[in-house]
Amino acid sequence: MFYNEVGQFKTSYRADQALFPIRQDLIALGVFLIFLYAVVPFTFNNFWLNTVVIPTLIFGVATIGLNILTGYAGQLSFGTGAFMGVGAYTAFKLTTYFPEINIVILILTSGVTSAAIGLFFGIPSLRIKGLYLAVATLAAQFFLEWVFIQMHWLNNYSESGAIVAPTRTLFGVAITGPSATASARYLVVLSIVVLLTWIAANLVRGRFGRSWRAVRDMDIAAELIGISLFGAKLRAFAVSSFYCGVSGAMLVFFLYGAAEPNVFDINRSFSILFMVIIGGLGSIYGSFLGAAFIWNLPIIIRLIPLALGLRVEPVYTEFLTSMIEGALIISVLIVEPRGFARLWQIAREKLRLWPFPY
Amino acid sequence: MLDILHKIFVGPFIEMSHAPDLLVQVLWEGFVSGTLYALIALGFVLIYKASSVFNFAQGIMVVFSALTLVGLIEMGLPAWLALLMTVGVMYVLAVSVERTILLPLVNQSQSTMIMATIGLSSFLIGFGGFIFGGEPKSMPVALLGIPTGSMQFSVFNGHINIQNLDLAAAVMALVMVTTLGIFFSKTRIGRALRAVADDHQAALSVGITLKQIWVIVWFTAGIVGLTTGIFWGARSDVSFSLQIIALKALPVLILGGFTSIPGVFIGGLIIGIGEQLFEYYWGVQMGGGTQGWVAYMIALLFLWVMPQGLFGEKIIERI
Amino acid sequence: MSNPENVKNPPLLRVDDIVLSFGGIHAIKGVSFDIIKGEIRAVIGPNGAGKTAMLNVINGFYKPDSGSITFKGTTYSSVKPHTAASEGIARTFQNVALFHGMSTLDNIMTGRTLKMKTSLFWHLFHWGPAENEELANRAVVEEIIDFLEIQHIRHTPVGKLPFGLQKRVELGRALAAEPLMLLLDEPMSGMNVEEKEDMSRFILNANEQLGTTIVLIEHDMGVVMDLSDRIVVMDRGLKIADGIPEKIKTNKAVIDAYLGTTHQEHASA
């Protein structure tokens, strides 16, 4: 009853094309944003921010990135982890050379390097598609992983081979490094995430988003109506890698504080792919649902036996997580290929008609 | 600059001609890993030919079957019984896959099927680890009657060392590839299996249903996986990290084509020998560990020159 | 409509001696004909005559082995699909080649692809030129939606629509490109009489109101004879007749080709 659009007539195409054509959605989003900015940083403790909220936001950005490539443009990629790594190492090198430039700007810039490298590995899409292209992304993954290990210049010749985020400030407050508080890091991450999410939502609803979806649904027809397949795929690779790169840089600077190359290995690529599938292929907000679910599943699995007073070896929670993820992916593909996002949409449709279902 | 060019274009070849025995040794090592890549790729091809499904879980089926075998032997079962039971487990797996994945997802797009089999991989890793534990296990070679020890041959005034195990693995791989190749091209059932991807009627006409065919190919792929797992496990250890190496079947398939059994063998050899040569003569100077990516780069270069693969048919697109 | 003035106009498109083969099988064996601006030109013939292959040659999906295509006075040995589209050739497909995961509106919007030029930068914010361009093109698309009477399915994913409506959406996507020439491959297959009447009306309106030249493949002879100005008849890769409907109806070669196939069908049945 409260969620219905009666009386909200669209009098222009502008209103109909808005991101949130239904007024209640816009209000709900506003309330949610106020909650995220004004309530969360002051009420959530460090544990919640560090283990649940910040990682979900950061991985959500990588998931949007892969979703643009796989969910929107239909190109399967196994190179997400490596592209995240490119962002992280670039941000690390940039802040070494330009410590006076604000770290937030450097992190966003590092996405550009990642985009350039993503573009390079997307070039084979001129000739190949489908599984063949997926092999090109595997080449990117394994080659870049090797570069992260072998090129000691990348980690400033550190003995451990790890990169460590130095302390950097914003408006005089430390936002990276050991002295940065969880809420400071959270607020910076949240702002970057809100900006990037808004941009992604804009991109996918306009002509570029349509060309991606057209290539995904039927590439031959897309070509015949004048969409350049190569151009559309390359743009998807570039934008996708940008998002992954920024996510990887945020991961090191705002969450882990330090990282070794194995943070960006192929298992990372798979885990982001799981987030995309579970959250919903071709959905921006689904990306966050997927990230939240996959990231927090092992935490929940660890916590449940603990709450019941049982002791379970950590390695078993890992295996249990892997099993549940696998089973869930298969079920999602069978039951609702558009993932959690679609389930949420169905629930909303029901709510729209409530209390009269017909 | 000149120094670098020398290191790339001259040095390695001088090295090869100076120590030909070493070259032969490197080629042999490459040959053996190539045959094992070919075996994994063979599992992919079987399933792909009969159901157009790209089974991303083939690599984990290798690990899972080997893990089951070692796990059962460690529980105290005699080797022959453990082997038999593992074969049984692979059959149950094939039936379960048919029921829970193939049937509900029939006629779905190729990428949906890839994602589903990635899900299957994740499930099998968890399931295998949950039952048999996650730590690397060693294959009880002696119990399974696999030869050990090594032989030495004299070549080019030097000598090469051949592990009996490697020889057995290579022979086994050759036998499997040949047998399955003949089975597919010469027997009635084989031809029906091959036809089923394009024409369900043809398969039905020899009296097998589509579901039975799925079970047969997944079971066969499981047995191929088990064989691969035994030899691979004997050469290194049985652990989940094998799954990453098993992904090299993908570049093998790109070279050999997704539907060609002889192609798989040749593709496997090109990849196996190519990456060993590169690592030994070029990779070491770059810091080593290039085996992780050389296979994929070879495939990528190859795709650029010959997008159809060595044995793939030219596809005419229709609309 | 078979206006004799039309015939004097220089052709908008001419195909000369087109030969096309796939791995030894000849789909088209040296066919020539022309299409005059503003006419409705039908291509008919029994199954396997090479009609769809000919459309594929015209819009660049297939590269002919030999022969040439002259469009707007320029002669090509073959065209690229992208060039054909940007030069003003749009088409629909026998089996409907829509983007199934996208709504009717989005599908027709993709037809405007070549009309939209704003850079990625503005689209990041969906602002300024990007927003104006989206809205201007949306207005054009809405006119097409009105024209085709599909307002009620505007936001429905096309994969969920019945075949008849999908065909209509596909026509809409082709019209959205404001093409000079529209290639329609069996636009009425699988439709009932009422749907066929609607579709005929849309095709005639497009031809008369928008001045679009139309090339039509269709099996329903009634529809073909009613709609078209001139007809090309193909059989087994060859052109066997070319002319106005009245002449084609009585052409002996055409009757033989059709009766011939009928005989064969009876014989094989």
Beta carbons of A199 and C106 less than 8 Å apart: no
A259 phi and psi angles, rounded to 5 deg? -155, 145
Secondary structure string (H, E, C) spanning chain A: CCCCCCCCCCCCHHHHCCCCCCHHHHHHHHHHHHHHHHHHHHHCCHHHHHHHHHHHHHHHHHHHHHHHHHHHCCCCCCCHHHHHHHHHHHHHHHHHHCCCCCHHHHHHHHHHHHHHHHHHHHHHHHCCCCHHHHHHHHHHHHHHHHHHHHCHHHHCCCCCCCEECCCEEECCEEEECCCCCHHHHHHHHHHHHHHHHHHHHHHHHCHHHHHHHHHHHCHHHHHHCCCCHHHHHHHHHHHHHHHHHHHHHHHHHHHHCEECHHHHCHHHHHHHHHHHHHHCCCCHHHHHHHHHHHHHHHHHHHHHHHHCCCCCCHHHHHHHHHHHHHHHHHHHHHHCCCHHHHHHHHHHHHHHHCCCCC
pLDDT tens for A45-62 read 888 898 999 999 999 999
pLDDT at A3 over 70: no
A41 in C contact zone (CB under 8 Å): no
Contact by Cβ (8 Å): C27, C21: yes
- Least CB–CB distance from C93: residue in B314, B316, B319: B319
Residue C36 three-state SS: strand
- B interface test, pick of A145, A229, A323 with most B CB neighbours within 10 Å: A323
> What is the pTM for the complete model shown?
0.90
Residues of B in Cβ contact (< 8 Å) with A150: 286-287, 289
C61 in B contact zone (CB under 8 Å): yes
Q: Rounded CA gap, C34 and B276, in Å? A: 61
Give me the mean pLDDT over the A24-40 stretch: 88
Specify the residue for token string 């595997």: A138
- Least CB–CB distance from A225: residue in C106, C110, C138: C110
- A interface test, pick of C118, C125, C126 with most A CB neighbours within 10 Å: C126
Residues of B in Cβ contact (< 8 Å) with A277: 115, 119
Q: Which of C170, C165, C169, C158 is nearest to C191 (CA)?
A: C165
Contact by Cβ (8 Å): A274, A70: no
Amino acid in the structure at residue B61: M
User: A173-176 and A168-170 as β-strands: parallel, antiparallel, unpaired?
Assistant: antiparallel
Q: Rounded CA gap, B226 and B238, in Å? A: 12
Per-residue pLDDT 10s for chain B (319 aa) are 777 777 777 777 777 777 777 788 888 889 988 988 888 888 888 888 777 788 889 889 999 999 999 999 988 888 889 999 999 999 999 999 989 998 888 878 888 888 999 999 999 999 998 888 878 888 887 777 777 777 777 777 777 777 878 888 888 888 888 888 888 777 777 777 666 655 656 656 666 677 888 888 899 999 999 998 888 888 888 888 888 888 888 889 888 877 778 888 888 999 999 998 898 888 777 777 888 899 999 888 887 777 666 665 555 555 4
Residues of A in Cβ contact (< 8 Å) with C89: none
C259 in B contact zone (CB under 8 Å): no
Instruction: List Cα–Cα distances, A325 to A264, A274, B225, C192, in angstroms.
Output: 20, 8, 23, 48
Beta carbons of A326 and B121 less than 8 Å apart: yes
Residues of chain C falling short of pLDDT 50: 1-6, 262-269
Q: How many CB pairs under 8 A join A and C?
A: 95
Element housing C52 (H / E)? helix C51-58
Q: Rounded CA gap, B161 and B149, in Å? A: 10
Residues of C in Cβ contact (< 8 Å) with B314: 23
Instruction: Give how far B122 is from chain C: nearest CA, Å.
Output: 28
pLDDT at A301 over 70: yes
A349 in C contact zone (CB under 8 Å): no
pLDDT tens for B195-253 read 665 565 665 666 667 788 888 889 999 999 999 888 888 888 888 888 888 888 888 98
What pLDDT sits at residue C268? 39
Instruction: Classify residue C153: in a domain, yes or no.
Output: yes
Is the domain covering A21-263 a CATH 3.30.479 domain?
no
What pLDDT sits at residue C1? 44
Give me the mean pLDDT over the A276-295 stretch: 93
Q: Which of B68, B71, B45, B67 is nearest to B58 (CA)?
A: B45
Element housing C200 (H / E)? helix C193-209
Q: Rounded CA gap, B34 and B256, in Å? A: 12
Residues of C in Cβ contact (< 8 Å) with A282: 101
Give the CA dihedral B56, B57, B58, B61, nearest 10 degrees.
170
C neighbours by CB contacts (3+ pairs under 8 Å): A, B
Q: Rounded CA gap, B27 and B31, in Å? A: 6
pLDDT tens for A329-357 read 999 999 888 888 888 888 877 777 766 65
Instruction: Give how far B195 is from chain C: nearest CA, Å.
Output: 21
Element housing C74 (H / E)? strand C74-76
Instruction: Give how far A222 is from chain C: nearest CA, Å.
Output: 8
User: A163-164 and A258-259 as β-strands: parallel, antiparallel, unpaired?
Assistant: antiparallel
A315 in C contact zone (CB under 8 Å): no
Report the length, in residues, of chain A.
Answer: 358
Beta carbons of B319 and C95 less than 8 Å apart: yes
Residues of B in Cβ contact (< 8 Å) with A326: 119-126
B neighbours by CB contacts (3+ pairs under 8 Å): A, C
Average pLDDT, chain C: 86
Instruction: Classify residue C261: in a domain, yes or no.
Output: no
Beta carbons of C110 and A217 less than 8 Å apart: no
Q: Which two tokens stand for residue B286?
A: 């770059």
Q: Which of residues 186-215 of A touch C (CB under 8 A)?
A: 199, 202-203, 205-208, 210-211, 213-214
- Least CB–CB distance from A225: residue in C85, C116, C142: C85
pLDDT tens for A195-246 read 999 999 999 998 999 999 999 999 888 988 888 888 999 999 999 999 999 9
Give the CA dihedral A199, A203, A204, A206, nearest 10 degrees.
140
- Least CB–CB distance from B293: residue in A142, A273, A315: A142
pLDDT tens for B36-70 read 888 888 888 888 877 778 888 988 999 999 999 99
Instruction: Give how far A124 is from chain B: nearest CA, Å.
Output: 7
The strand pairing partners of C235, in sequence order, are: C238
Q: Which of A286, A204, A279 is nearest to A239 (CA)?
A: A204
Instruction: List Cα–Cα distances, B107 to B44, B121, C97, in angstroms.
Output: 19, 21, 18
Instruction: Classify residue C145: in a domain, yes or no.
Output: yes
C136 in B contact zone (CB under 8 Å): no
Q: How many CB pairs under 8 A join B and C?
A: 8
Number of domains in chain C: 1
Q: Which of residues 257-316 of B touch C (CB under 8 A)?
A: 314, 316
Instruction: Give how far B25 is from chain A: nearest CA, Å.
Output: 26
pLDDT at A40 over 90: no
- For residues A334-358, b (16+ Cβ closer than 10 Å) or e, as one string? beebbbbbbbbeeeeeeeeeeeeee
- C interface test, pick of A196, A205, A224, A284 with most C CB neighbours within 10 Å: A224
- A interface test, pick of C55, C96, C100, C124 with most A CB neighbours within 10 Å: C124
Query: Using a CB cutoff of 8 Å and minimum separation of 24, what contacts does B197-206 make?
Result: B197/B48, B197/B49, B197/B50, B197/B51, B197/B52
pLDDT at A326 over 90: yes
C202 in B contact zone (CB under 8 Å): no
What pLDDT sits at residue A147? 92
Average pLDDT, chain A: 88
Domains and CATH numbers, chain B: 2-302 (1.10.3470)
Fill in the DSSP letter of residue C10. P
Average pLDDT, chain B: 82
pLDDT tens for C234-262 read 988 889 888 888 888 888 888 877 766 54
Fill in the DSSP letter of residue C44. E
User: C238-243 and C66-71 as β-strands: parallel, antiparallel, unpaired?
Assistant: unpaired
- Least CB–CB distance from B250: residue in A138, A150, A273: A138
What pLDDT sits at residue C82? 84
Residues of C in Cβ contact (< 8 Å) with B108: none
Q: Which of A16, A280, A127, A199 is nearest to C101 (CA)?
A: A280
Instruction: Give how far A91 is from chain C: nearest CA, Å.
Output: 23
Instruction: Classify residue C169: in a domain, yes or no.
Output: yes
User: B158-163 and B150-155 as β-strands: parallel, antiparallel, unpaired?
Assistant: antiparallel
Contact by Cβ (8 Å): A334, B104: yes
Sorted by where each begins, the domain ranges of chain A are 21-263
Instruction: Classify residue C92: in a domain, yes or no.
Output: no
Q: Which two tokens stand for residue C64?
A: 């002919």
pLDDT tens for A102-147 read 999 999 999 999 999 999 988 877 777 777 888 889 999 999 999 9
Q: Rounded CA gap, B37 and B17, in Å? A: 28
pLDDT tens for A69-103 read 999 999 989 999 999 999 999 999 999 999 888 99
C122 in B contact zone (CB under 8 Å): no
**Structural domain that includes position C152:** 99-178
Q: How many CB pairs under 8 A join A and B?
A: 134
DSSP codes of every residue in C103-131:
BHHHHHHHTTGGG----HHHHHHT-THHH
Q: Rounded CA gap, A78 and B2, in Å? A: 37
What pLDDT sits at residue C8? 56
User: Which residue is closest to B318 within chain C, CA to CA?
Assistant: C61
What pLDDT sits at residue A327? 94
The strand pairing partners of B154, in sequence order, are: B159
Beta carbons of B319 and C56 less than 8 Å apart: yes
3-state helix, strand, coil in chain C (%, to 5): 45, 25, 30
